[in-house]
A and B are shown apart, each in its own frame.
Chain A
Amino acid sequence: MANQKVEFPSTQWFQALAARMNEQRAKYQNFGFVTARAVFRVTATAAGNRNFGLVFDGFECLEVRELTDGEIAQFDPDWTMEGDYATWKEMVQNIKAHGEADPDHTLNRLCLLGHPFRVHGEDQTRVDVFYRQLFSFQAFIDESAAVETSFA
């Protein structure tokens, strides 16, 4: 499984990150617990816009599922992180190349000015969960360094 390529973006790709998080409890316990419902949105893929809803609780990612645009509101995310496919691809490749995001490809770096990524939500205090628990989310995305990724 570890050597099989997983396509990005896909439910399987985010599940691979979740599996890595869940098997490293001590590492994530050191960062602090995570309580968030997050949507990672990849726009302008060959198949259109893709949304992945993830539920974090404690030191684990409990749920990963793909959502249609119409299902996002019902999923009730704290925050949505959105960017186009090209930027996602560049970030994932950068993490693979460096073992973790380099200074130009951290989540905060990509999101701060609202481009190329944007973090948003209905309620600013719930969007702020992204900043409150960012260390864990960065570590979660950095897990992709260990995932053999192919790109659609």
Chain B
Amino acid sequence: MSMAIDKKQSVERLKALPQVQRWREGNYEPGAWFTSKPAEEGGIWGSWGHRFQPNRRGVSLVELNRADRHPIPTEGLGLLADREAGAEPDAPRYDYPLREKYQVWSYNVESLYEEAMSRQWSATRDIPWDKLAPLPEDQERALCQFVSFLHTVEFVPGDTLPFYMARVDPSFSEVRLFMSSQCADEARHMEVFGKRMYANGGGPGMEPGAEALLLFDPRKSVLPQEIAKTVSNVNPTWDFLAYSYFVQMIGEAVVLDFFRFGEFLGRNPCDKEMFRRIMQDEARHVSFGTMRIKYYLDNAPRREREEASEMLHFLASACEASGTGFGLLLQPSAIEPFALLAAGSLGNLDKGWDVVREFWATAVEEYINRCERAGLPRRGRCMLPEEAPF
């Protein structure tokens, strides 16, 4: 391909730019960024006079925001800039679909982000791989299938979070930062599961179908087809709120329970520490989703709040009834290896299944508790059986 412009023309064009002409004429007087007053005084500089004393942890967003005399705006500016930045009148503004604070904020987003940064780890360096001990072949096979399943699960948020992140107004940078940290977490989980599969004499197991269960698949629903179809059309992509319920509050809550169970089942320091590290990350994601739903339901305009609450209850009933999220606990390729690991050997499978049954009851109770905290009371309405259906 040939360019329609040569180098000489390119140089001439650059020289013709007004600011370049000014500099070429020796006029180096700084522009509005230097001369303008802060917005509070009627200028177009952002804001001025901020000071912050580092605390024990350094400079944390929690204290930084607390010390700021300007509250976080309820509506984003549509600028690709800090929320207190100034702008020329003709600065480009963008119509971000998620531009209201109540649509994106979470009560604990600043502290969760700081915690996420503080607790980053390396799948290469921080797992005691040298302490991985050989397992009996049936146990290694079960563990490999279990981590193959979890490896697949990680694709769901990893593939979908950036879609929403790019739609959040940059005025709420804390939300974008947290979502970025979650993307990094999911990538690291995928990495560590991938490494574990190959590390101890086994290898990747079977594709487990986990992604479809998390994203709602009417083919695997126990709902009547007409209802399943309706719910399927209420797709998680239509609204960030529904997404937080689908993925962060129910999906990742179940996955958090899986990770806790992974630690429970681990027989050597390597597997134990791997799941302990991952569990910490996942618990942050669940906490963000839970407190984001609460913020929405506490702060949305009244009518929207009522409609959102109704929609979330509908989604919750549909998810619970159809096995979205908790369906992961009914997925043979995940739960059977789970039971075998809990049993310790094929000869003790019944004992392994007893542990899985207990685990189901714990997971359901914690899910209901989180719904309660989010302002979405499901106790008495939850369609999930309190006891395992097997």
- Which residues from chain A sit less than 8 Å from chain B, CB to CB? 31-33, 35, 57-58, 103, 106, 108-109, 112-114, 123-125, 127-128, 131-135, 138
Contacts and interface: CB of A to CB of B under 8 A. Distances in A.
B6 to A, nearest CB: 55
B286 interface: yes
Nearest to B294: A125
Nearest to B112: A132
B272 interface: yes
B370 to A, nearest CB: 5
B191 interface: no
Contacts of A134: 276, 279-280
A32 B56 contact: no
B33 interface: no
A131 B56 contact: no
17 contacts: A33-B57, A35-B115, A57-B56, A103-B269, A108-B260, A109-B264, A112-B362, A124-B373, A125-B290, A125-B370, A128-B283, A128-B287, A128-B370, A132-B284, A133-B119, A134-B276, A135-B277
Given A32-B280, A108-B260, 7 more contacts: A32-B120, A103-B272, A124-B372, A125-B287, A128-B370, A131-B260, A131-B279
A131 B290 contact: no
A89 B273 CA distance: 23
A135 B369 contact: no
Interface string B279-319: 11011101100110000000000000000000000000000
B173 interface: no
Nearest to B371: A124
A112 B256 CA distance: 12
Contacts of B279: 108, 131, 134
Given A123-B373, A135-B276, A108 B118 contact: no
B266 interface: yes
A112 B287 contact: no
A105 to B, nearest CB: 11
Interface residues of B, number: 40
Contact of A132 (B115, B362, B373): B115
A57 B114 CA distance: 13
A113 B362 contact: yes
Interface in B206-253: none
Nearest to A106: B272
Interface of B: 56-57, 108, 111, 114-115, 118-120, 256, 260-261, 263-264, 266-269, 272-273, 276-277, 279-280, 282-284, 286-287, 290-291, 355, 358-359, 362, 366, 369-370, 372-373
Nearest to B284: A132
A36 to B, nearest CB: 11
Given A57-B56, A108-B264, A128-B283, A33 B118 contact: yes
A90 B362 CA distance: 24
Given A35-B111, A108-B260, A124-B373, A132 B287 contact: yes
Closest 10 CB pairs of A and B: A32-B119, A124-B369, A32-B118, A131-B283, A132-B283, A58-B56, A108-B263, A112-B264, A33-B118, A113-B358
Contacts of A32: 115, 118-120, 280
B364 to A, nearest CB: 12
Contacts of A106: 263, 272, 276
B359 A133 contact: no
B263 A135 contact: no
A132 to B, nearest CB: 4
A123 B283 CA distance: 14
A55 to B, nearest CB: 13
Nearest to B277: A135
A6 to B, nearest CB: 27
A114 B366 CA distance: 11
Contacts of B282: 131
Contact of A112 (B261, B268, B272, B273): B261
Contacts of B268: 103
Nearest to A126: B373
A112 B272 CA distance: 14
Contacts of A112: 260-261, 263-264, 359, 362
